[in-house]
Amino acid sequence: MKLSKTISALTAAVAMVVSASAFAADTVTLRFANVTNQPSIDAAQVLMDVAAKESNGRLVIKHFPNNMLGDDRVVTESTMMGDIDMVQTLPSVLASMIPDLYVWDAPFLFESADEAWKCMDGELGHAINSQVERRGLKYLAAVENGFRHYTNSKVPVKVPADVKGQKLRVIESEIQLAQWKNWGANPTPMAFTEVLSALQQGTIDAQENPLSIIDSNKLYEVQKYVSLTGHQFSPHILYINKGIYDSLDKELQQALDKAVIAYRDAQRARAVELNALSVKKFEDAGTTVVEVSPEEKEVWRKQAVDGGIYELVKKKMDNPQYLDKILNKDY
Residue 41 maps to a domain: yes
- Domain tally for the chain? 1
The CATH number covering residue 210 comes to 3.40.190.170
Please report whether residue 86 resides in a domain: yes
The model's pLDDT over 49-79, given as tens digits with 9 standing for 90+, comes to: 999 999 999 999 999 999 999 989 999 999 9
pLDDT averaged over every residue in the chain: 92
Collapsing DSSP states into helix, strand and coil, what is residue 191? Answer: coil
266 pLDDT higher than 70: yes
The answer to whether residue 8 sits within a structural domain is no
Which residues span the domain enclosing 265? 28-325
- Does 242 fall in a domain? yes
Query: What was the pLDDT predicted at 194?
Result: 94
**pLDDT at 303 (0 to 100):** 98
Q: Which of 12-26, 86-100, 126-140, 280-294 has the lowest mean pLDDT?
A: 12-26
The DSSP secondary-structure symbol of 317 reads -
Percent of the chain exceeding pLDDT 70 equals 92
Instruction: In whole angstroms, give the CA distance from residue 168 to residue 151.
Output: 9
DSSP for residue 164: T
Rounded to 5 degrees, what are φ and ψ at 291? -75, 140
Q: Do the domain assignments include residue 21?
A: no
- The verdict on residue 48 lying in a domain is yes
Percent of the chain at pLDDT exceeding 90: 87
150 occurs within a structural domain = yes
pLDDT at 91 over 70: yes
Confidence band (pLDDT; 50, 70, 90) for 26? Answer: confident
Q: Does residue 314 sit in helix, strand or coil?
A: helix
What's the CA gap between 159 and 189, in Å, rounded? 22
HSE-CB for 321 with a 13 A CA cutoff: 4
The pLDDT score that the predictor gives to residue 17 is 36
The answer to whether the pTM exceeds 0.85 is yes
Indicate if the pLDDT at residue 8 is higher than 90: no
In tens, the pLDDT along 137-191 reads: 999 999 999 999 999 999 999 999 999 999 999 988 999 999 999 999 999 999 8
pLDDT of 23 > 50? The answer is no
> Would residue 15 count as lying in a domain?
no
* Whether the Cβ atoms of residue 313 and residue 102 lie closer than 8 Å to each other: yes
Looking at residue 216, its pLDDT comes to 87
